[in-house]
Amino acid sequence: MLNLTNYSATPIQLITENLNNNNFYMKRDDLFPLSFGGNKARKAVHFFKDMISNNADCIVTYGSNASNHCRVVANIAASMKVPCYIVSPNQSDSQTFNSEMVKLFNASIIKCPIEEVNTTIKKKLKELKLQGYIPYFIPGGGHGDIGTKAYLEVYREIVEFERTSGVQFDYIFHTTGTGTTQAGLVCGKILGNDEKKIVGISNARRNPYGGKVVLESINSYLGSIGAPEISKDEVVFIDAYTLEGYGKYNVGILNTIENILRQDGIPLDPIYTGKSFWGMKEYIKSNGIKDKNVLFIHTGGTPLFFNHLKEIK
């Protein structure tokens, strides 16, 4: 079975980028040591620990054909030899490296129209219970308090890096999607009484919805530990760089990916990390941010780098 505990902090490295005389660091959460890493692996270990403590014996989750989340969940389930069911919308049926791996791990894919996702999940859970299984449901993208907790852990790793290196970050940038990566980081900042600015660069969702989901995730977690709620002013959810939505990218993004790969040897992808790294640079330019220490969190998705390698060239 894959190791769900005892992993060490992912590295933080200085990178070549120096826009506006800022120092750029990258936290390599893509190197989280399990199934190509990334934030979905980071979250999944917490869900599986919860699954084990609930004595569950099979997994039901949700995601598209390109989903990093589904690849990680299917991988861990396969290592534990527990059945894994993935509800996936009909609309997403092209082959990707992640969908190929999901097949390799023998997960069962249940296709349905996107409007029927919730009912299909409920139906599957009910069916499994009737068959005598104890199913465990992991929300798409690893959403929920458990996912938030995983990024609280990342925030603590960042603070520990600051303590041992003497570097203090003024900004943390990262790709924000379904919200718990950002929620965990913001909770870490609030609970640690820190000043850092945390800027989520959305890859798809727009405001007010995108920011609202992050805020709800933050307050749900804070509520669960008896801490006071926060207001929406404390969430910086930037939707200015989503282009026409999920999966859309431009030449600036592809050039950014090529540069980072050439100069630093780090793979980004056009759907998540490359898009938001480009968005971060645009944000820094338009907000006149200079002479700061900036940390970008690489949230993973390395298989997507390979899906798009041809376009990057």
Is 37 among the residues that bind ligand PLP (CB under 6 A)?
Answer: no
Query: Which amino acid appears at position 79 of this protein?
Result: S
Nearest alpha-carbon partner for 78 in 95, 59, 62: 59
The number of residues that bind ligand PLP (CB under 6 A) is 18
* Structure tokens belonging to residue 84: 């894994």
- Taking the least distance from each CB to ligand PLP, the nearer of 58 and 308 is 308
d(CA 138, CA 144): 9
The number of helix segments (H) and strand segments (E) in the chain equals 11, 10
Least distance from ligand PLP to the Cβ atom of residue 133, Å? 28
State which of positions 248-287 bind ligand PLP (CB under 6 A): 272-273
**Given 301, 303, 307, 308, the residue binding ligand PLP (CB under 6 A):** 301
Stretch that binds ligand PLP, among 93-101, 131-139, 180-188, 240-248 (CB under 6 A): 180-188
Least distance from ligand PLP to the Cβ atom of residue 39, Å? 5
**Given 120, 180, 256, 307, the residue binding ligand PLP (CB under 6 A):** 180
Residue entry with tokens 């540069």:
259
**127-156 footprint of ligand PLP as x/- string (CB under 6 A):** --------------x---------------
How many Å from the N-terminal Cα to the C-terminal Cα in the chain?
Answer: 37
Is 176 among the residues that bind ligand PLP (CB under 6 A)?
Answer: yes
Stretch that binds ligand PLP, among 16-24, 38-46, 80-88, 109-117 (CB under 6 A): 38-46
State which of positions 55-94 bind ligand PLP (CB under 6 A): 68
Least distance from ligand PLP to the Cβ atom of residue 123, Å? 25
d(CA 139, CA 129): 18
Each as own residue / partner, the long-range contacts of residues 9-17 (CB below 8 Å, 24 or more positions apart, any chain) are 9/157, 9/160, 9/161, 10/37, 10/154, 10/157, 12/158, 12/161, 12/165, 12/295, 13/264, 15/260, 15/263, 15/264, 15/266, 16/263, 16/264, 17/259, 17/260, 17/263, 17/281
**Given 39, 88, 96, 99, the residue binding ligand PLP (CB under 6 A):** 39
Stretch that binds ligand PLP, among 46-54, 259-267, 278-286, 297-305 (CB under 6 A): 297-305
Query: Which amino acid appears at position 59 of this protein?
Result: I
Q: Are strands 236-238 and 293-298 parallel, antiparallel or unpaired?
A: unpaired
Contact positions vs ligand PLP (CB under 6 A): 38-40, 68, 141, 175-182, 272-273, 299-301
